[in-house]
Structure formats: C-alpha cells, structure tokens
Structure 1
Amino acid sequence: MPGTIAFVGDSLTAAGRWDEWLPEFTVSNHAAGGATTADVLAEVDVVLANRPDAYVLLIGTNDLAWRKSVEHVVRNVESILATVHKHEPSTRMLVQSVLPREPEFAASIRDINRHLWQYSSTVRAQFLDLWPVLADENGALSPVHSEDGLHLTAAGYELWLDALRPAIERLFAVPTTTTPIDVLSDAISVSGLR
C-alpha cells in the first residue's frame, strides 16, 4: 500500500507530524497556518507538480473566521477537487470535513460538510466526516481536544489519526482513473459523439 501523500490545508494540517504518524508513506505537507480555500486553490498546481498518489485535504475553517459564506467555502473546495481530478485523474483524493470550532460556527460547518459529502463522489473523492469524532454536544471542540477552540491538542490529533488511518487505507484500496479528462474529451469528439 505505500505511496506518496500530499497533505493540504491550514494550520491544523500544518501542525501534523504526518511523516512520523504514517511512516509507510512518503508524505509532503503543503499546509500553512492561516490558509483559506482561496490560498489552497491558488496552489493546486504547485502540489500537483509532485504528482502525489493521494491528495488529502482539510480546509475551510479560516474562511469562516474571515466571515466568508458557506457557498464561498463550498465553491472553492469543489474547484480544488475538480482541478485535481481534471489534471491528475490518477491521484486519489480524500476530502475531510471542516472541523468543529466555536459553537457560533456549528450550523455553517455542518452545512459545508453536507455539501462536500454530496459533491466528493462526483470527482471520485472520498469523504471523511470528522464531526462525530471531534464535536461535542454544542458543536464545538471539547477542551480535551483543543485548548483554544480551534487548534488540536495531542489528544485531538490522536482521535483524528484514528479516523484518518483507515480512511487512507480505503483510499489506496480503490483503483485509480488513469486517463486524463481532456484525453477522454478528445476521444469523444473524434468518435463523433459530440
């Protein structure tokens, strides 16, 4: 099952010790503190230049801090996934739900996550719902999992990793698509189907 994984996202992902936690994979961490969906969208080509076997994404919480709409977050994440799928169709994709944070954001986060869950299969991405793993009864991160309501403690990362590891195993168990979409489009037009 070994392969290469590009982790992409914000400070939650940037702080992960993915190469230590997933030693069987070659890991690159393309996450940055404060990153938004627009930042990740602008850097998709940089990440894809390394031709990772898997693209693992967690992004969106900083957009909410900047008071961006649910639609803005969903549209940008959909664009990220569609771009990866179009340019590197053999790259496996795992999109993770936006993690809980302060209760005032709970409804928006749940709405974003519902949209991402629905969209992910249209681009052959898998979806990992971390809400039930990390949210408390108020839709926030518990003090055990976060000291500031946003960033994870060691216990929070442990729960995340417990959910992520089997998701990555499932991701690598799925066969990849090997023909780029533009090649398929050319083949269809040549055959007269367009």
Structure 2
Amino acid sequence: MTDSLVFIGDGLTSGGRWDEWFPEFNVHNFGVSGETTDALLLRLQQVSELEPNAVIVQIGTNDVGWRRSDEYIVRNVETILYRLRKQLPDTRILAQSIPPRERDHVDVIRSINRHIRQFAPTLHAGYLDLWPMLADPDGEISEGFSEDRLHLNDAGYAVWLAEMKLALELLYETPTSTSVIPVQYI
C-alpha cells in the first residue's frame, strides 16, 4: 500500500507539482490560492477524513499580506497543527515556515517562523525552515526565486523540493508520537 501525503496551504502549495515530484506517494494537493489560516481551519475535516500517512502544512503568507498580527497568525497556525494532531494521532505532520517575501514583511514573518519552529516539536511535528534557502541577506525573497517577491518560480520550487525531500526522509524516521508517561499520585 502506498503512503498518502496531503499538502495543505495557500497558493504556494497549490502551485507545487507534488504528485509529479513524489510519484512514490499517493499525493493530495489541498493548496488553495489566496488561502488564509482562518479558511484553512474550516477545511481541516476533509484532510482528517482521508487519514493520510503525512500532512505537509504551509500557510500564513496571505495573512501577512492582509497585515494580520504575528500573534494572530501564530495562534491560528498552532490551532491548525493542534487539531491535525488531535484528529490524526498516528499521522506524520510537517509544519513549514512562511517563506520570505517583500522586505516590509521580514520582521513579522521571522517572528511567526520562530514561534512555529518552537511549537511544532511539542506536537511531535517536524519543521522545515524555507527561509535560509530562499531569502537574501536583507530578508527579502531572492530575486532568482520569484518575479513578484511573493510567488515562487521554477527555481524557487526546485529549492523547496530539494529541502522537502530531505525533510520527508527525516519525518519518516521519526515516530509520530510518544507514549504518555503515567503520573503516579502519592
């Protein structure tokens, strides 16, 4: 039986040719152009119903574009990850950073990514940081990876894909959860 991968997120996810890039998996691309964290929260049930082996989450850049606060976005991303873990306790989860975009969003995106990186392990989820590969030294997305400072071009997707392959290898080497240690009361 082939493992199933579900990709959820915004237009960056939607634009990926994940089924072509991961032919060894049964891939479902639930990326939606313009998707926000609020909208994704409303669609999580369709992901849970598939009972996939792994869920790959990349969301938040549209919230940043709408100028929502980093606290608001972090809370929603944490809720997404929490609900996925609760509904799919045996599924591998990979949370991804919000990729860089225009320079005026650098500080907010860095704040959000720091929180996601710290929170993901608490739910036994992996974390893939796309920032170092896609950003210029000033924090803006590298011109070579995007024509509009938001959407990825083929070179940007190639970088993401290379990192994704490594992240999936690590994700499949890690248990989906750990057993609960019973607490003894005296």
TM-score band by shorter chain is: over 0.9
Q: Give, as a single letter, the amino acid of the residue that structure 2 aligns with 1:81.
A: L
Unaligned runs of 5+ in 2: none
Tell me the alpha carbon deviations over residues 89-128 of structure 1, each in whole angstroms, 9 at most, x when there is no partner: 1011000000000000001000000000010011111111
Correspondences of 1:26-45 after superposition (within 5 Å): 26-45=26-45
Q: Give, as a single letter, the amino acid of the residue that structure 2 aligns with 1:165.
A: K
Query: Per the alignment, in what secondary structure is the counterpart of residue 164 of structure 2?
Result: helix
**Alignment length (residue pairs):** 184
Unaligned runs of 5+ in 1: none
Tell me the alpha carbon deviations over residues 132-184 of structure 1, each in whole angstroms, 9 at most, x when there is no partner: 010011211122100000000100000011111010111111223498xxxx8
CA RMSD of aligned residues (A): 1.9
Which residue does the alignment assign to 2:116?
116
Q: Give, as a single letter, the amino acid of the residue that structure 1 aligns with 2:156.
A: G
d(CA) in 1 for partners of 2:122 and 2:178? 16
Tell me if 1:14 matches 2:9.
no
Which residue does the alignment assign to 2:158?
158
Which residue does the alignment assign to 2:105?
105
Q: Give, as a single letter, the amino acid of the residue that structure 2 aligns with 1:163.
A: E
Query: Per the alignment, in what secondary structure is the counterpart of residue 43 of structure 1?
Result: helix
Correspondences of 1:26-175 after superposition (within 5 Å): 26-175=26-175
Give the fraction of aligned pairs with identical amino acids, expressed as a percent: 47
d(CA) in 1 for partners of 2:175 and 2:119? 19
In 2, are the aligned partners of 1:134 and 1:141 still within 8 Å (CA)?
A: yes
In 2, are the aligned partners of 1:89 and 1:178 still within 8 Å (CA)?
A: no
CA shift, 1:2, in A, is 5.0
In 2, are the aligned partners of 1:74 and 1:115 still within 8 Å (CA)?
A: yes
In 2, are the aligned partners of 1:34 and 1:62 still within 8 Å (CA)?
A: yes
CA shift, 1:131, in A, is 0.4
Displaced runs of 4+ in structure 1, greater than 4 A? none
